[in-house]
Structure 1
């Protein structure tokens, strides 16, 4: 069951949003009326998504979104009566998922939320892939260094050194990276 934080200083907008979000199946709806409360609520209650008004007392929506996204990587939608290029640029820098213009239409809310969740999921997957690639590259570097050590210390050719490392990995039931790390440890 999804949780949503809605923050707008206009109670009528919050009520309208809350009713529509209930219809969309959100189980818990956290409400507040200013940017500082939005940040505090988000960090203490950990919603799945946040919908923030751009213009709020105490802290504007973009500043609140920035503070929330420093700690939580949740999708954030911004509500605004008018969108100007400066606001859009600031929102992009913060990582805001979408804008909804006031008065928002019911039919605009669901697609914006679904696209925000899909985009957040896609970004998470891409970050995982990047981390995996970094790890693979790092492993290749270590394996190449270890291969060089074997070539230098045992007078092996490159294919022979690699084959020796593969055989050690199979015999000892270790990864090639673990064998390479061990070779480099004995070298130093």
Structure 2
């Protein structure tokens, strides 16, 4: 996705028709495709699902609570790079915009000559954020696995009178026989033990 000459599908969101046209012309001139043109009252999540843009450009005088809430919903459910232009802002709005998943937040105007570099920054930040989110999810999974494997080993040691390494070996074999990850199987075993 990165790189200066990548042609992207862009969704434009703006209440000002004149500004929207200027933005569209600048992007089309650079070879990008406009996936959709919407105003800020549109249902952004369903429009994104329908049009599948690769990048979203939003231009507003000042981002309101509703706009920021639908951006937050978007970045949870259908994450993609979002560039938000605002004519004016304040520290609280900036904080909320970043928290809502905006990749690039530009205050004080839209300069058509800067669109490509802004898009590249937004995509790079978005990709970094996604990678960090994935690493965090993996770390959480590893911690949950360790905790549950320890608990399942404890159950096997108690119920079958095994030492720790024998309990681990048995747990591992049972997981492999069922073609499951050992952490997932440990959770199945714990649940079954809770039921019994």
Count of aligned pairs between the two proteins: 183
Q: Given that residues 24 and 34 in structure 2 are in contact (C-alpha distance below 8 angstroms), is that contact kept between their aligned partners in structure 1?
A: no
CA shift digits 1:109-155 (9 cap, x unpaired): 11211121222222222222222222222222222122112222333
**Structure 1: unaligned runs, 5 residues or longer:** none
Matched, 1:31 2:37: yes
Match of 2:110 among 96, 104, 107: 104
Structure 1 residues 147 and 48: alpha-carbon distance in aligned structure 2, compared to 1, 3 A threshold = same
Cα distance, 1:119–1:165 mapped onto 2, change above 3 Å: same
Query: Scaled by the length of structure 1, what TM-score is found?
Result: 0.74
What is the CA-CA distance between 1:7 and the residue it aligns to?
2.6
Pairwise CA RMSD: 3.1
The answer on 1:114 being equivalent to 2:120 is: yes
SS in 2 for 1:50: strand
* 1:63 matches 2:66: yes
Q: Which has the larger radius of gyration?
A: 1
**Structure with more contact order per residue of length (Cα contacts < 8 Å, sep ≥ 6):** 2
Gaps of at least 5 residues in structure 2 are 1-6
Query: Does the residue aligned with 2:115 lie in a helix, a strand or coil?
Result: helix
Report the TM-score, using the length of structure 2 for normalisation: 0.72
The residue number in structure 2 matching 1:13 is 19
CA distance, structure 1, for counterparts of residue 186 and residue 47 of structure 2: 48
Q: Which residue of 1 aligns with 2:96?
A: 90
> What does residue 8 of structure 2 align with?
2
- Equivalent residues of 2:59, 2:84 under 8 A apart: yes
Q: 1:180 to 1:7 in 2, by over 3 A?
A: closer
Query: Residue 123 of structure 1: which of 119, 129, 138 is its match?
Result: 129
Aligned-pair CA distance for 1:21:
0.9
